[in-house]
Chains A and B, each alone.
Chain A
Amino acid sequence: MLRDWPKVYRRLELMRGLDEHEKVLYARSLAATPDERWQMNVTFLRSLGLWGRSSLKKFSSNS
Chain B
Amino acid sequence: MGAFIAEEIQFQLIGMSAAILQGVPVATLDVDLWLDLPVRQYMRAVNLAVAHGAKLLRNTVVELTDGTLVNFIFEVTGLGDFATELGRARKLRFHGLDVPVMSLERIRKSKAAIMRPKDPAHIHYIDQTLRASKANRRKK
Neighbouring A residues of B51 by C-beta, 8 Å: none
Whether A45 contacts B21 by the Cβ 8 Å rule is: no
Whether B136 contacts A11 by the Cβ 8 Å rule is: yes
Whether A29 contacts B69 by the Cβ 8 Å rule is: no
Q: Find the B residue at minimum CB distance from A51.
A: B67
Q: A11-B140, A29-B25 are in contact. Are A53 and B131 (CB under 8 A)?
A: no
The docked-state distance in angstroms from the alpha carbon of A42 to that of B92 is 18
Neighbouring B residues of A56 by C-beta, 8 Å: 29, 57-58, 61, 69
Interface size on B, residues (CB 8 A): 41
The docked-state distance in angstroms from the alpha carbon of A30 to that of B32 is 21
The docked-state distance in angstroms from the alpha carbon of A42 to that of B27 is 8
Interface size on A, residues (CB 8 A): 34
Whether B16 contacts A63 by the Cβ 8 Å rule is: yes
Within 8 Å by CB of A12, from B26, B93, B135, lies B135
Whether B57 contacts A53 by the Cβ 8 Å rule is: yes
B128 is an interface residue with CB less than 8 A from chain A: yes
Neighbouring A residues of B75 by C-beta, 8 Å: none
Chain B nearest Cβ from A43, distance in angstroms: 10
Interface pairs (9), CB distance under 8 Å: A35-B95, A37-B23, A42-B68, A44-B27, A52-B67, A53-B55, A53-B69, A56-B29, A63-B116
Which positions in A face B, CB cutoff 8 Å?
Answer: 8, 10-12, 14-15, 17-18, 22, 25-30, 32-35, 37-38, 41-42, 44-45, 50-53, 55-56, 59, 61, 63
Known: A30-B136, A34-B92, A61-B69. 11 other contacts (CB 8 A): A11-B138, A15-B131, A17-B131, A26-B25, A37-B23, A38-B20, A41-B28, A52-B67, A56-B29, A63-B71, A63-B116
